[in-house]
Amino acid sequence: MQVMERENQTAGAQQSLRGKSAIVTGSTSGIGLGIARALTAAGANVMFNGFGSSPCINDLRRGLETSFDVKTAMSFADMSKPADIAEMIDAARTEFGQIDILINNAGIQHVEAIETFPVAKWDSIIAIDLTAAFHTIRAVVPEMKSRGWGRIVNIASAHGLVASPFKSAYVAAKHGIVGLTKTVALETAEHGITVNAICPGYVLTPLVAKQIPETAHARMLTEQQVIHDVLLHAQPTRQFVTTEEVGALTVFLCSPLAKSMTGTALPLEGGWTAQ
């Protein structure tokens, strides 16, 4: 009997999110798109968010809706604007009826020495990579508490755990989101809500591709040297992490079987922070 129950639980994990509804910020590209794909494959309805061309995003959504028999929606809300964030949350509620899962993923980066780091870049990075999560979380926690179930996953970074030079705003924002994760986890622990951060190492997305010339300039290296001697040098596996890996961990954290994991900052970085 116990064996059967265990098998049912494991089988349930495959489509464990059927009937749940999620928002994934910054899901038109890279890691957020990988997470949105994984959540729909697990049966969840997903509100996409981010920038990009409507026809491409609509094609992508139709494909996922057909493949996995889920609903999707799209919001072009700018995560640096609290009023846009409020509209996105309202639109998700109207579309799906409720929000069970919130993935704070939208993020930007800028690589430059502290003396010349542009003030406007600092402000944008803190707004999008940190403050946006404050606004989304405080908007969804009341309804999650009222239903006694919720899952919040914040995409931090290995830079939420350790620093690298020339990334002052990003490292500050990512350490900040780890702190936000722990605090909200404690506040919601008795309400069936879990709040966790995933800390990926380098994933070869447009965000990282853009950093390669910036880092080459800041450190006076060639772009090949940046890839091998800076980015992958940080990761003992010497391999980029994939969006599929981040998507799979997110689905697990959102599953019923992860109900006792909360307040964590999980490294997914090829051994980077073990050194």
Quick count: other Cβ atoms within 10 Å of Cβ 271? 13
Measured between alpha carbons, how far is residue 154 from residues 80, 170, 223, 252 in Å? 16, 14, 30, 14
CB of 150 or CB of 270, closer to ligand NAD: 270
Would strands 265-268 and 45-49 be described as parallel, antiparallel, or unpaired?
Answer: unpaired
Q: Interface with ligand NAD by CB under 6 A: which range of 22-30, 91-99, 183-191, 214-222? A: 22-30
Q: How far apart are CA 205 and CA 121, in angstroms?
A: 20
CB of residue 68 vs ligand NAD: minimum separation in angstroms?
20
For CA atoms 102, 103, 107, 113, give the dihedral sign.
Answer: positive
Of 72, 80, 188, 250, the one binding ligand NAD (CB under 6 A) is 80
Report if residue 208 touches ligand NAD, rule: CB under 6 A. Answer: yes
- The active-site residue, picked from 68, 96, 166, 170, is 170
Q: Is 126 exposed, middle or buried (0-12, 13-18, 19+ CB in 10 A)?
A: middle
Q: Is 202 a catalytic residue?
A: no
CB of 189 or CB of 208, closer to ligand NAD: 208
Q: How far apart are CA 46 and CA 95, in angstroms?
A: 10
Q: Interface with ligand NAD by CB under 6 A: which range of 38-46, 73-81, 111-119, 185-193? A: 73-81
Report if residue 203 touches ligand NAD, rule: CB under 6 A. Answer: yes
CB of residue 84 vs ligand NAD: minimum separation in angstroms?
8
Is 203:246 a contact under the CB 8 Å cutoff? yes
Of 8, 14, 51, 239, the one binding ligand NAD (CB under 6 A) is 51
> What residues line the site for ligand NAD (CB under 6 A)?
26-32, 49-52, 78-80, 105-108, 128-129, 155, 157, 200, 202-203, 205-208
Q: Which residues are catalytic?
A: 170
